[in-house]
């Protein structure tokens, strides 16, 4: 009988997942955050600091931290690493000139001990998944779960598929 009630309690309680969303400046992070939260496009300005919103998807409450991506702000990203379960790295895949810069920032973050257990979701816009995998050096991530989900921040295409992957990863961890 106790197993029934604990199972019922687990069924009725929402799972929570802390997500850190980062990427270079002007990649579309804030647009994505508010498209997920409000279902609409909002006018954004460059993020100095962070935006944080809770996004409900299926039975999971995602707390999404959208942190500014300007080069002067990036050293502050590390202050958001603690208790992060999922990392969304947003890449404007039309910005091929900065693909190497994006790769360097991603690899610098993934080397941090506090993010060793975080799963990685990459949200590109125009490069193919194979091209982005190569440009970001993702094949070198042998002991980390990662996934590329093609998206469009303004239309919302692919955003919920990305959350689906994150929610499945959370279920595997529990």
Which residues touch 124 (CB under 8 Å, ≥6 apart)? Answer: 91, 92, 93, 132, 148, 150, 151
Q: Give CA–CA dist 107/104, Å, rounded.
A: 5
Contact by Cβ (8 Å): 69, 91 = no
Residue 159: count of CB within 10 angstroms of its CB: 20
| Residue in 70, 85, 103, 149 annotated catalytic | 70
Binding residues: 23-30, 47, 69
Q: How is residue 16 annotated by DSSP?
A: E
Per DSSP, the three-state class of 22 is strand
70 belongs to the catalytic site: yes
Binding residues for GTP: 23-30, 69
Binding residues for Mg(2+): 30, 47
- Catalytically active residues, by annotation: 70
């Amino acid at each position: 009988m106790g197993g029934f009630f604990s199972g019922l309690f687990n069924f009725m309680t929402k799972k929570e997942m802390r997500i850190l969303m980062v990427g270079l400046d002007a990649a579309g992070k804030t647009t994505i955050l508010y498209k997920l939260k409000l279902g609409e496009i909002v006018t954004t300005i460059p993020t100095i600091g962070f935006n944080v919103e809770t996004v409900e998807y299926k039975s999971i409450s995602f707390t999404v931290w959208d942190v500014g991506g300007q080069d002067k702000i990036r050293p502050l990203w590390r202050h958001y690493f603690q208790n992060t379960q999922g990392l969304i790295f947003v890449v404007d895949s039309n910005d091929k000139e900065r693909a190497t810069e994006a790769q360097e920032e991603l690899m610098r973050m993934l080397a941090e001990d506090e993010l060793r257990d975080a799963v990685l979701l990459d949200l590109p816009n125009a490069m193919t998944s194979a091209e982005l995998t190569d440009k970001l050096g993702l094949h070198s991530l042998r002991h980390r779960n990662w996934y590329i989900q093609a998206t469009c921040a303004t239309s919302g295409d692919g955003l919920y598929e990305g959350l689906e992957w994150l929610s499945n990863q959370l279920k595997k961890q529990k």
